[in-house]
Amino acid sequence: MKSPKLSPYVLGAVLALAAPVALRAAGELNLFGWSEYVPQTVIDGFTKQTGIKVNFETYSSNEEMISKLVAGGGRYDLVQPSDYAAEAMIRQKLLAPLDTAKLTHLKNLMPEFVRRPHDPEGRFTVPYMSGTVGIVVNTEKVKTPVKGYRDVFQPRFKDRIVVLNDSREIVTWALYSLGLPINAIDAGSLANARPLVASWVKLVKVFDSDSPKTPLLNGDVDLGIVWSGEAAILWNQNKKFQYVIPAEGAHQYIDVLAIPAGAKNKAEAHQFINFILRPEVSKLVSAAFPYTNPNAAARKLLTAAELANPASYPAGGKLETFRDIGKVAADIDRLVTDLKSAQ
């Protein structure tokens, strides 16, 4: 984790020293993005084209990003929150409205990824990449069809299951199975979900959000519910790992680009967003990180193999983004902690 974090600094420093004065006058951009999400080639290409020096810093959770953003004042010019985090940030007035006139490539985006509930008017955010949370099955070990959450959590798969170590995700799957709304959670729906979650937790062998593909690859489990990006990597390695969007409905996450309210280099930030929206650039992101690309023009440039990856481009299904649920999150966390601990 250290080296990819460090190298942009080093590179930035080298560029700053080497760049002629005229180029430095072109400005700089302080990018705060997810680790393992923005290819270095894209950043280098941006600097080459515009002369704007990019200072790249990374985070590994939305919470980390928000707390550093709040503490750091105007240190960052561009951030990369997930949908629900962007929603909360918009509500807390942490984001600046975008100047859409500067974003000439906006039209490249597919309509289903814009003006979603977290930013209904599309004033604050531009989608970067998207993904889903779905079922991955090792078809060499599991011969029966697995279509939904209840097919995963069966007693015969006890200790053969990996799931994300994320309380809200687990509760969401239970709510889907019960036909309850996933973004309007209250004490009643939690009470309904509780027995289901309790029985599921007992069947799980591994809870892992960082690298749920590992136990699948190692043969320690046979199926699981994971990020689609992880499933896409598994599929690339071995076609026996099939990705399924659960029939009951699935969580879709859209990671966006947004400009903090206090940003000092807003013009450069707009330039970067517009750069990312270019199909040939967006294609590079897809090649490095096989998530779902929301850019229609970029998709045309993808290889057949990339498009055929069912985890990157699932065949549809009922998809919903998370909304910010505020303090109910604490109750969800407590519920899952309690049930895991009760085993």
Partner 1 sequence: MTAGKEAGPPVTDRRTAGWRAWALLAPMLAWLMLFIVVPTAVLLVYSFCERDELGRVVYTFTWDNYQRAFDPIYVRIFGRSIGYATLTAAICIVAGFPVACYIGRAREELRDRLLLLVMVPFWTSFLIRTYAWITILKQEGLLNAVLRSLPFGAGPLDLLYTPVAVMIGLVYAYLPFMILPIYGSVEKLDGALIEAAHDLGAGPLRVFSSVIIPLTLPGIAAGTLLVFVPSIAMFAITDLMGGARVPLIGNVIQNQFTQARDWPFGAALGVVFMALFAVTYWILLRFREREEAAG
Q: By CB under 8 A, what part of segment 220-279 binds partner 1?
A: 220
- Residue 46 or residue 76: which is nearer to partner 1 going by CB? 76
Q: Compute the least distance from the CB of residue 88 to partner 1, in Å.
A: 5
Q: Compute the least distance from the CB of residue 229 to partner 1, in Å.
A: 18
Task: Report the sign of the C-alpha dihedral through residues 275, 278, 284, 286, in that order.
Answer: positive
**Interface pick for partner 1 out of 38, 43, 52, 66 (rule CB under 8 A):** 66
- Maximal C-alpha separation, the chain: 67
Under rule CB under 8 A, residue 143 binds partner 1: no
Under rule CB under 8 A, residue 208 binds partner 1: yes
SS3 (DSSP) at 162: strand
Q: Which two tokens stand for residue 287?
A: 């090649």
Task: From residue 256, give the alpha-carbon distance in Å to each of 36, 115, 121, 252.
Answer: 15, 12, 14, 13
Sole residue written with tokens 């069966």: 154
Stretch that binds partner 1, among 234-242, 244-252, 263-271, 333-341 (CB under 8 A): 333-341
Q: Decide: 141 and 156 in contact? Cβ < 8 Å.
A: no
Q: Decide: 210 and 224 in contact? Cβ < 8 Å.
A: no
**Interface pick for partner 1 out of 129, 171, 206, 319 (rule CB under 8 A):** 206
Rg (CA), the chain: 21
Under rule CB under 8 A, residue 117 binds partner 1: no
**Interface pick for partner 1 out of 40, 50, 214, 236 (rule CB under 8 A):** 214
Q: Compute the least distance from the CB of residue 304 to partner 1, in Å.
A: 32
The DSSP secondary-structure symbol of 103 reads: -
Q: Compute the least distance from the CB of residue 50 to partner 1, in Å.
A: 32
Under rule CB under 8 A, residue 63 binds partner 1: yes
Q: What is the spatial distance between Cα 232 and Cα 228, in angstroms, rounded to a whole number?
A: 6
Output b/e per residue, 145-158; b: 16+ Cβ within 10 A.
ebebbbbbbeeebe
Site string for partner 1, 297-326 (x = CB under 8 A): ---------------------------x-x
Stretch that binds partner 1, among 5-13, 148-156, 157-165, 183-191 (CB under 8 A): 157-165
- Residue 99 or residue 159: which is nearer to partner 1 going by CB? 159
SS3 (DSSP) at 36: coil
- Residue 1 or residue 315: which is nearer to partner 1 going by CB? 1
Hey, what long-range contacts does 150-158 have (CB within 8 A, 24 or more apart)?
150/177, 150/248, 152/223, 152/224, 152/225, 153/199, 153/200, 153/203, 154/203, 155/203, 157/203, 157/222, 157/223, 158/202, 158/203
**Interface pick for partner 1 out of 27, 194, 288, 333 (rule CB under 8 A):** 333
Q: By CB under 8 A, what part of segment 85-104 binds partner 1?
A: 88-89, 91-92
Q: What is the spatial distance between Cα 121 and Cα 114, in angstroms, rounded to a whole number?
A: 8
Under rule CB under 8 A, residue 183 binds partner 1: no
Under rule CB under 8 A, residue 280 binds partner 1: no
- Which chain residues interact with partner 1 by CB under 8 A? 61, 63-64, 66-67, 70, 88-89, 91-92, 159, 162, 165-167, 204-208, 214-215, 218-220, 324, 326-327, 329-330, 333-334, 337-338, 340-341, 343
